Amino acid sequence: MTLVSGRSAIPPTRVHEMDAVVVGAGGAGLYAALELKQELGLEARIGVISKLYPSRSHTGAAQGGVCAALGNTEEDHWEWHWFDTVKGGDYLVDQDAAEVMCHDAVETIINLEHLGLPFDRTPDGLINQRRFGGHTRNYGEGPVRRSCFAADRTGHAILQTLFQQCIRHDVTFFDEYQVLDLALPQGSGGPVTGVIALETATTELHAFRAKAVLFATGGYGKIFKVTSNAHTLTGDGMAIPYRRGLPLEDMEFFQFHPTGMYRLGFLLSEAMRGEGGFLVNDRGERFMERYAPTMKDLASRDVISRSIYLEIAEGRGIGGKDYVHLDVRHLGADVLNTKLPDMSGFIRTYFGLEPLTDLVPIQPTAHYAMGGVPTDIDGRVLADATGAIVPGFYAAGEVACVSVHGANRLGTNSLLDILVFGRRAGKKMAAELADLSQPVADAGAEVSVQTRISGLLAGTDGERPAVIRSELQEVMFLKCGVYRTEQLLAECRDEVAGLRERAQHLLVDDKGCRYNTDLGEALELGFLLDCAEATVESALARTETRGGHAREDFPERDDANWLKHTFATRDPASGAMSMAYKPVTITEFQPKPRTY
């Protein structure tokens, strides 16, 4: 291993010229890359840059399903799905965007089937469908079967299918390259002309020059202590534009999924309740019947997570502790082993419990970012709350906020979002490529990345990134979690600011150039801290309770003042934060009180 301790700069930047680059090889990135190749032809130079080997992307961990109103097992209509999405998002959803998603869902699923995705089937050979939270028939009358699935490994099947298609279409992959900055030679207004990435295997820097760049880097659940998210979900793709003065939208809305495995946070898919499982408290009561008389255990996730906390707060957690039980015993061996095999395996492996005979301890777990990089319905990144576009810059998937999920996402709508908008972004990039500027270098960004890395490698004292990261996760979970107050959030803001200060002096133990994951984690910590800052500031600003953002001091939804999206921006020169607001697009469904 080469030692680089004390050296003043890492090796010179290597340059790659591409037509378009996609950052991230989850479902959103791969579908976009495939679409680019299909639109532009095999000779187009399309690069997918991913800090993970593509098949390790978090999409592969998605379990329960992807929804579309196919109506294969009972009557369904995409308009019902559209309504459910708007209501599920507590009316903060941009209804034009949700209309596109729910309408395009049907064709997208059929296209995936044609690409080779092995969905579960009904006895007569159609794609099978199951129930999921908040998906209803006839505008709220009761649950409907809308989620298409491949056992409880739906994301795995999507990821493998798209990865194989990308290979077949000659997409160029740069695996295990971590993107650290955007090329924005003329400042935050754009155009974006490429990215700068660190190759994990060698610690070399690479500059990718391209006319169009798509960020599809996934979420940032690792800011919280208990989370379903993979270790790599550190919000890089949100923090990078934010550092360059671009806004992040609706960051206060982070979804806590009701059924995380107690203390571990690993997800037990909502499909367990979709197939008939239910929650019980210490007295053995099915408490969701009280909070959501119609949908019960299939109410929206924000409603269920809050109900669990209320049960715990009123002393009905199991043994007075901070968890409740999921009961799936009655589902029987056939359903557990064929439709929910991975979930049943998790329960056996991690808890040593038998789902056929034992109750399963669960608690809400940080799961999904509704907010992110603001885009239009074609994945084009917005420069501000007026809707100005940053030329050459696109985002899709969990990193983006279109906004189709508003204040709370419905189960199985995320896989749908990444597919519909990943594909649309790819199409738009292909269409706009000819009109975009020639890629040019951003020498300032390249030097700044080099300086950051050299500084981290040269340091001989300071704090280890893991220490600051776990303090961050603890404070965010306790003070910016399911329930929030002005006081908790203000404390959280100060503590995050203190952690940001401490993170100026990090000790990276590994000084080598081969697979220096120590360095990678130090860089990721910076991204996590930026995402945490934007989340807390946005949560402080929003003085109402809506969807995933529950303020104990402002317990009601306030449509008169807050039917608008938050745009959090940090001035790169002064570091000052500011908030701007963009009205919600309402086309069809007027906001109503939400009951399930």
Ligand X SMILES: Cc1cc2nc3c(=O)[nH]c(=O)nc-3n(C[C@H](O)[C@H](O)[C@H](O)COP(=O)(O)OP(=O)(O)OC[C@H]3O[C@@H](n4cnc5c(N)ncnc54)[C@H](O)[C@@H]3O)c2cc1C
331 binds ligand X (CB under 6 A): no
b/e 331-350 (16+ beta carbons within 10 angstroms → b): beeebbeebbebbbebbeee
Query: Which of 46-54, 72-80, 102-110, 436-444 is the region at the interface with ligand X (rule: CB under 6 A)?
Result: 46-54
Least distance in angstroms from the C-beta of 158 to ligand X: 8
CB atoms within 10 A of CB 8: 9
267 binds ligand X (CB under 6 A): yes
The nearer residue to ligand X, 395 or 468, going by C-beta atoms, is 395
The nearer residue to ligand X, 199 or 491, going by C-beta atoms, is 199
419 binds ligand X (CB under 6 A): no
Binding string, residues 127-156; x marks residues near ligand X by CB under 6 A: ---------------------------xx-
52 binds ligand X (CB under 6 A): yes
265 binds ligand X (CB under 6 A): no
b/e 359-392 (16+ beta carbons within 10 angstroms → b): bbbbbbbbbbbbbbbbbbbbbbbbbbbeeebbbb
Tokens of 543: 């003085």
Please give the full DSSP string across 492-559, using - where no structure is assigned. HHHHHHHHHHHTTSB-----BSSS-HHHHHHHHHHHHHHHHHHHHHHHHH--S-BTTBEETTB-S--H
Binding string, residues 174-213; x marks residues near ligand X by CB under 6 A: ----xx----------------------------------
Binding string, residues 54-83; x marks residues near ligand X by CB under 6 A: x--xxx-xxxxxx-----------------
209, 301, 493, 570: the active-site residue: 301
Candidates 4, 10, 49, 192; binder of ligand X (CB under 6 A) is 49
Candidates 165, 228, 305, 365; binder of ligand X (CB under 6 A) is 228
The nearer residue to ligand X, 19 or 152, going by C-beta atoms, is 152
Which run of H or of E encompasses 489?
Answer: helix 486-502
**Minimal CA–CA distance to 233: which of 52, 472, 498, 32?**
52
The nearer residue to ligand X, 129 or 154, going by C-beta atoms, is 154
The nearer residue to ligand X, 72 or 227, going by C-beta atoms, is 227
Candidates 47, 50, 302, 513; binder of ligand X (CB under 6 A) is 50
Between 486-502 and 517-541, two packed helices, what is the crossing angle to 10 degrees? 150
The nearer residue to ligand X, 27 or 361, going by C-beta atoms, is 27
Binding string, residues 371-410; x marks residues near ligand X by CB under 6 A: --------------------------xxx-----------
Residue 324 CA to residue 319 CA, distance in Å, equals 9
Least distance in angstroms from the C-beta of 355 to ligand X: 18
Which residues fall within 8 angstroms of residue 575, CB to CB, at 6 or more apart? none
> With contact defined as beta carbons under 8 Å apart, do 69 and 81 qualify?
yes
Least distance in angstroms from the C-beta of 512 to ligand X: 21
CA separation (Å) from 543 to 7, 90, 497, 594? Answer: 50, 15, 21, 18
Return the DSSP state at 89. T
Least distance in angstroms from the C-beta of 415 to ligand X: 3
Least distance in angstroms from the C-beta of 177 to ligand X: 6
Which run of H or of E encompasses 394?
Answer: strand 389-395
Least distance in angstroms from the C-beta of 367 to ligand X: 6
Least distance in angstroms from the C-beta of 26 to ligand X: 2
Tokens of 124: 């007569």
SS3 labels along 395-427: ECCCCEECCCCCCCCCCCHHHHHHHHHHHHHHH
Measured distance between the N- and C-terminal CA atoms of the chain, rounded to whole angstroms: 59
- Quote the radius of gyration of the chain (alpha carbons, Å): 23
Binding string, residues 6-45; x marks residues near ligand X by CB under 6 A: -----------------xxxxxxx----------------
E strand residue ranges, 122-235: 129-137, 142-148, 172-175, 177-183, 194-199, 204-209, 212-215
348 is catalytic: no
Residue 465 CA to residue 452 CA, distance in Å, equals 15
Residues 439-468 that bind ligand X (CB under 6 A): none
The nearer residue to ligand X, 24 or 465, going by C-beta atoms, is 24
By annotation, the residues acting in catalysis are 301
Enumerate binding residues for ligand X (CB under 6 A).
23-29, 49-52, 54, 57-59, 61-66, 154-155, 178-179, 216-218, 228-229, 236-237, 267, 269, 368, 397-399, 412-415, 418
